[in-house]
Structure 1
Amino acid sequence: MANTTAVPRTHLNLAPRASAVKAVDDSLKMKHLQLVLKPSAQRQAALEKLITSQHDPHSPSYRKWLTPQQYGESFGVADADIATVSAWLEAQGFTVNTVYPNKTQIDFSGTAGRVRHAFATHEMVYTINGEKHLSNDSDIRIPVALQSVVAGVMGLNDFHPRPMHTKPQLARWNASKQRFMQTPASTAKSSKAKTPLSAFDKKLAQATDTPDAVNFTNGARGLVPGDLATMYGVDKIRKNGITGKGVKIAVVDSYDMVPADWSNFVQNFHLDSYGGTFTQINPAPPSGVNNCLDPDAVAGYTQDDGYDDGETLLDAEYAAAIAPGATIQAAICSSYDADFNATTDNFFGGVFIAASNLINGASRPDIISASYGFGEGATDAASKQAIDAMWAQADAEGISVFVSTGDSGSNPDFNGSVIYGNSYDGTSAVDANSFATSPHVTAVGGTDTADVLDGTSGQYFKVAKDLTKGSALSYVPEIPWNESCGNEVAAKSEGYNSNVKFCKDLFKFDTKGLYATSEAGSGGPSSIDRKPAWQSLVFNAAKDQTRDLPDVSLFAGSYGGYTYVVTCTSAYPCTPDFSGSTTLSGGTSLSSPMFAGMQALIDQKMDNSGQTLQQGNAAPTLYALAAKEFGGPTGTAPGTLAACNADNGATGTGACVFHNVTRGSISTNCYEESSGEGTLTNNCYFLADLSNYSINTIFGPIPIGAVQMGLTSTLTSPTGLNAKNEAFTARPGWSFASGLGSVNAGNLVKAWVAYAKSGK
């Protein structure tokens, strides 16, 4: 192409890790691509300055939010440039579907042949770890005249995000044992159960290819809304009428749930009297061709068919568990049809479309929760810019956005499996969720209750469980959620002085790696976004220049798969006596909507106090409040840092806003082939050589053969592992393992309102 220029990082470097490559047919339809526009540097700087002032209680712009149209006029691309770009797309044979009011994105459609001709790149099919993926094979090229306003095209690859929830478990309540007992996998209508990790369980030593044999050996605990309300101080302010009333929470997803399940959930757990409502919507763009399709409709289903998406269901139910008076919307835009053909060709699929359409619409939510993610290393530059721009717009409009950090420790790409550097994102076992690293969202990680490993459950839970009202007695000490042998608290409970020794002994029993896992709350530094000023305000803030995850954490899962939350599904509805089978779930997909519910409590209290209901990004205020308890980045930490340690449980933390998590880590298993394709997995400390190892994919197990198994590290080539180089260790103040920790919602609401009034 004459007079064109390449746009850097607009393709993924998959070729070294892919096989069976072939070009797609030129006639392949590419639906609802997003042309990402690039405002001037001056406009971007002005936007950041405005957002900073919108969060400053001393500024005249404090909480003076914008409309989508105001945002576009002040911070988007000029109308003349949009007209030029649109005319060029149409001249290349594309259909321009929608120009968004933010003036930073254009929705358009065409074919793979049109993409090849216009952008000088070929759409190819790659096979990676048994999965087929579509991606362009080179950076796109655009006319030189457009390079100042075009950042790239979103949708030239199909690496859609993954939901951040654990695989649902199916169990039956056993009243005599006061526990849930797993339903055998052969009869359950649920996915394969995760396995606990206990190096000394006799059945583990006997296990060969059936790790499910030891799952739920001693039963499982299912937390219910009443438990979480007690643990996080929600119950006390609920008694005062703070329930999220008048606040709209949107959970963005790409698959439907059965709305009656939400009603079953709130009725069974006595939340229906608070007046909250639930709707499931397919938000269309403000104008032009509709790019948001109903997943059930495109797949040929109806709600009567009873097909639930576990992600959507978990999001909607547990946002209501914390804020039962709120208006809950499940905003759904389909990513695929019944034949798994894409209904929208943009990275992050229907989740991005749903969020973008909401943020640019006339009836916007006050809060958004997004429980999806993929690593920055697997996200092309145009998609990352579009994601960050979308969240910045939401912040400027006053929308509070919460995003799950991930469910696989130091790299969010591996939910349900083991971190493997020779995969989508290059060679590193350390990455951060590209959906969460924007400085305009609050990133929510995951914790585990420590009572089981500490042997103190009797101190924090009633012996006789009440599964409709809850049995928690108070706040329960927390540690980072980590299901691997990298969990130091678990290692100590097994009699080891280090997780390294624990893992080495585990793999003496488990020579096939059946119990290896990377299931854990995710955290890590961004490789793209810079650290916002507010993230440097607290004690032990990372000494780097990058946006770091997470900001806060809430319960997500447990070591050994022992503790989950109860969900109500179409296949297995909840009943007061729990006589039937029950679905248990978890993950940071649980943490994010729960924190969104807490934000709804704040919003209602602010509104009741005569202040602005919408709060924008929560993180700047959260860090300002944390600095008061933890201390600043320099000087001596105040006594409240120790007083607010999560290990204190309910004793001494009653006045704290934050529960500072200081024990454990999210260092999990990682592996690299001893023979075969690939490059060495960076940031992995190898502990054992295993034989006959296989990985699970959506197509089933794929034999790998011999591997080196280890634990993730912050060092590229570690020669040892300790608290200083694990990826990552909890510590006093802020940490990559759990951010600022969890919160007492009642104290947070009071502190937030006081800060908004005084700026202190």
Structure 2
Amino acid sequence: MQVALVSVSVLFSALPVAAQAIQVAARVTQPVDIEDVVPLRGHTHPLAHPEHDRGPAPDSLPMRRMLLILERGRDQEAELRQLLDEQQVKSSPNYHQWLTPEQFGKRFGPADSDIQAVTDWLTTQGFEVNRVGAGRTVIEFSGTAGLVRHALHTEIHKFAVQGEEHWANASDPRIPAALAPVVAGIASLNNFPRRSLHRRVGTFSRSKATGEARPLFTGTCGGRPCYAVVPGDFATIYNVQPLYQTGTDGTGQTIAIVGDSNINIQDVRDFRSAFGLPANDPQVVLNGPDPGLVPFAESEADLDVEWAGAVAKNATIALVVSEDTEASFGVDLSALYIVDNNIAPVMSASYGFCELFGAGFN
């Protein structure tokens, strides 16, 4: 089974001024008829199976922060792919030239009238439109299971899988056919979790007299030894020390970490102290309510923050935390927040899930 890392690809690319002024053609050209609908195929989670079904959710069940993904036109997609190539060619005028999210949206997002058509449809169906992403790739909206049933023509059910209960749509949603040219899909309508990928190997202790840590953990990977490493090991294995010696240590840079749990800052301080790293507390940015310390997710956030700061030891580490909802994964919401607010030039996401579990447009 393949595992796809959860991430949001962010491209902020530079274009000649004349190109930025090109008007984007509207693709919603017909009146929106809520009775004329088409399915968003591949949007039912594989674990939302009849054998696990425990019945429909109450209409009042909140469905918070759903993410409607907007589609680029074919010409836009072709231009974007060309631009991706040009960004890596030193002789190109677009080499390493970046756009802000707003500039990206104006060039590669739908026309204003298309976005207006989608948001008008959502609001007339009773949903609250929370925001349109600055990059014009996503619309965040909230509502209830009843509104989802009425407007998206699918029921939210409770599913019991391996001792856990989750909410999920029981069938593929449907949207007005007139909007299909600009709607790629909905990121999710379920709260089946994506899993943190860390594995606990044990507990070590350090001698106060010698500074030596024991035990040294060794596992197996594909029949071969795998060694647990610490920051000093990483610096040696990947020859980072020469960079440190020339002052390339993350100073002046920011790395944004996506998360769906808060952390105990003292854990990061203890990690840095144990491995001789300079004091450097991370920033914690809350995107919505504070979910607190979430089991498993907290450990994943700890590792991500600690190791980003272990390699780029003087960089600013910003952990963006978003609460999971009935419909969306907090890590996705955090990634979008990082992009929309231009938090950092580098974003790290370590969560994974089987590719089969992604929506059909992914």
Q: Please report the TM-score for the alignment, with normalisation by the length of structure 1.
A: 0.40
Letter in 1 for 2:351: Y
RMSD between aligned residues = 2.9
Q: Quote the Cα distance in structure 1 between the aligned partners of 2:123 and 2:241.
A: 57
Q: Which residue of 1 aligns with 2:277?
A: 271
Q: Deviations over 1:302-335 (max 9, x none)?
A: xxxxx99211111111112211121111111122
Question: What displacement does 1:167 show?
Answer: 2.5
Q: Deviations over 1:376-408 (max 9, x none)?
A: 1011125x2xxxxxxxxxxxxxxxxxxxxxxxx
Q: Which residue of 2 aligns with 1:114?
A: 147
SS at match of 1:170: coil
Q: 1:226 to 1:17 in 2, by over 3 A?
A: farther
Q: Deviations over 1:100-138 (max 9, x none)?
A: 111121111111010000011111122223332222111
Q: Quote the Cα distance in structure 1 between the aligned partners of 2:119 and 2:57.
A: 26
Q: Which residue of 2 aligns with 1:380?
A: 359
Q: Which residue of 2 aligns with 1:143?
A: 176
Q: Which residue of 2 aligns with 1:64?
A: 97
Q: 1:147 to 1:196 in 2, by over 3 A?
A: closer
Q: Does 1:261 align with 2:267?
A: yes
Tell me if structure 2 keeps the 8 A contact 1:53–1:62: yes
Q: Quote the Cα distance in structure 2 between the aligned partners of 1:14 and 1:256.
A: 28
Q: Quote the Cα distance in structure 2 between the aligned partners of 1:241 and 1:18.
A: 59
Tell me if structure 2 keeps the 8 A contact 1:10–1:138: yes
Q: Quote the Cα distance in structure 2 between the aligned partners of 1:239 and 1:314.
A: 25
Q: Quote the Cα distance in structure 1 between the aligned partners of 2:49 and 2:63.
A: 25
Q: Which residue of 1 aligns with 2:336?
A: 356
Identical-residue share of aligned pairs (%): 34
Letter in 2 for 1:161: R
Q: Quote the Cα distance in structure 1 between the aligned partners of 2:220 and 2:179.
A: 55
Q: Does 1:294 align with 2:290?
A: yes
Q: Which residue of 2 aligns with 1:52?
A: 85
SS at match of 2:160: strand
SS at match of 2:256: strand
Tell me if structure 2 keeps the 8 A contact 1:259–1:280: no
Q: Quote the Cα distance in structure 2 between the aligned partners of 1:277 and 1:171.
A: 23
1:589-604 to structure 2, matched below 5 A, reads none
Tell me if structure 2 keeps the 8 A contact 1:179–1:221: no
Among 147, 151, 165, the residue aligned to 1:132: 165
SS at match of 1:169: coil
Q: Quote the Cα distance in structure 2 between the aligned partners of 1:194 and 1:380.
A: 37
Q: 1:15 to 1:257 in 2, by over 3 A?
A: closer
SS at match of 2:181: coil
Letter in 1 for 2:282: F
Q: Quote the Cα distance in structure 2 between the aligned partners of 1:308 and 1:262.
A: 15
1:711-750 to structure 2, matched below 5 A, reads none
Among 40, 54, 58, the residue aligned to 2:73: 40
SS at match of 2:319: strand
Letter in 1 for 2:345: D
Question: What displacement does 1:69 show?
Answer: 0.7
Q: Which residue of 2 aligns with 1:242?
A: 248
Among 65, 68, 75, the residue aligned to 2:108: 75
Q: Does 1:345 align with 2:345?
A: no
Tell me if structure 2 keeps the 8 A contact 1:257–1:308: no
Question: What displacement does 1:181 show?
Answer: 5.1
Q: Which residue of 2 aligns with 1:661?
A: none
Q: Quote the Cα distance in structure 1 between the aligned partners of 2:54 and 2:165.
A: 10
Q: Quote the Cα distance in structure 2 between the aligned partners of 1:124 and 1:163.
A: 25
Letter in 1 for 2:306: E
Q: Kindly tell me the number of residue pairs found equivalent between the two proteins.
A: 323
Letter in 2 for 1:147: A
Among 290, 294, 314, the residue aligned to 1:325: 314
Q: Which residue of 2 aligns with 1:309?
A: 298
Q: Does 1:99 align with 2:132?
A: yes
Question: What displacement does 1:93 show?
Answer: 0.8
Q: Quote the Cα distance in structure 1 between the aligned partners of 2:199 and 2:173.
A: 37
SS at match of 2:333: helix
Larger of the two Rg values belongs to structure: 1
Q: 1:223 to 1:150 in 2, by over 3 A?
A: closer
Among 199, 202, 208, the residue aligned to 1:169: 202
Q: Quote the Cα distance in structure 2 between the aligned partners of 1:194 and 1:254.
A: 30
Q: Quote the Cα distance in structure 2 between the aligned partners of 1:137 and 1:17.
A: 8
Letter in 1 for 2:117: T
User: Which structure is higher in RCO with an 8 Å CA cutoff and minimum separation 6?
Assistant: 2
Q: 1:59 to 1:157 in 2, by over 3 A?
A: same
Q: Does 1:30 align with 2:63?
A: yes
Q: Quote the Cα distance in structure 1 between the aligned partners of 2:111 and 2:300.
A: 39
SS at match of 1:324: coil
Letter in 2 for 1:324: K
Q: 1:256 to 1:15 in 2, by over 3 A?
A: closer
Q: Deviations over 1:509-555 (max 9, x none)?
A: xxxxxxxxxxxxxxxxxxxxxxxxxxxxxxxxxxxxxxxxxxxxxxx
Question: What displacement does 1:16 show?
Answer: 5.1
Q: 1:242 to 1:196 in 2, by over 3 A?
A: closer
Among 282, 285, 308, the residue aligned to 1:281: 285
Question: What displacement does 1:293 show?
Answer: 2.5
Q: Gaps spanning 5+ residues in structure 1: where?
A: 183-192, 200-219, 285-291, 302-306, 336-341, 385-760
Q: 1:308 to 1:78 in 2, by over 3 A?
A: closer
Q: Quote the Cα distance in structure 2 between the aligned partners of 1:263 and 1:145.
A: 54
Q: 1:371 to 1:18 in 2, by over 3 A?
A: farther
SS at match of 1:34: strand
Q: 1:58 to 1:164 in 2, by over 3 A?
A: same
1:585-624 to structure 2, matched below 5 A, reads none
Q: Quote the Cα distance in structure 1 between the aligned partners of 2:44 and 2:283.
A: 38
Q: Which residue of 2 aligns with 1:252?
A: 258
Q: 1:181 to 1:10 in 2, by over 3 A?
A: same
1:457-496 to structure 2, matched below 5 A, reads none
Q: 1:41 to 1:312 in 2, by over 3 A?
A: same
Question: What displacement does 1:152 show?
Answer: 2.1
Letter in 2 for 1:369: S
Q: Gaps spanning 5+ residues in structure 2: where?
A: 1-33
Question: What displacement does 1:180 show?
Answer: 2.8
Tell me if structure 2 keeps the 8 A contact 1:168–1:310: no
